[in-house]
Amino acid sequence: MPKQKYAKNGEAAAAYECSKRTCKWQGTTDQKAEKYNGYGITEHVCPKCGNNSFYGLLNPVT
C-alpha cells in the first residue's frame, strides 16, 4: 500500500504543500508568508506564489 502523504481533515499536519500544482512549495507554518487582507485579518500565503491554500503533509519537510 502506498504511504499516505497528505493529512485528512482532523489529522495534524506536520508541514504544508502549496495547492498550486505548478508551485508545490513545501514548508512549515513558520515558513509561510503573511499577507494582511485589509479587514483586520492576516492570512498565511505561499512565499513563492502568493497562493493562500495548502495541503497538509503528514511528514515534516526535510
Chain residues in the site for Zn ion (CB under 5 A):
18, 20, 23, 25, 46, 48-49, 51
DSSP lists the bridge partners of residue 16 as 27, 56
Instruction: Please tell me what DSSP assigns to residue 32.
Output: S
Write down the least CB distance from residue 59 to Zn ion, Å: 19
Write down the least CB distance from residue 32 to Zn ion, Å: 10
Number of H helices, E strands in the chain: 0, 5
Q: What are phi and psi of 23, to 5 degrees?
A: -105, -65
Closest CB to Zn ion among residues 3, 32: 32
Closest CB to Zn ion among residues 16, 25: 25
Instruction: Please tell me what DSSP assigns to residue 20.
Output: -
Closest CB to Zn ion among residues 13, 46: 46
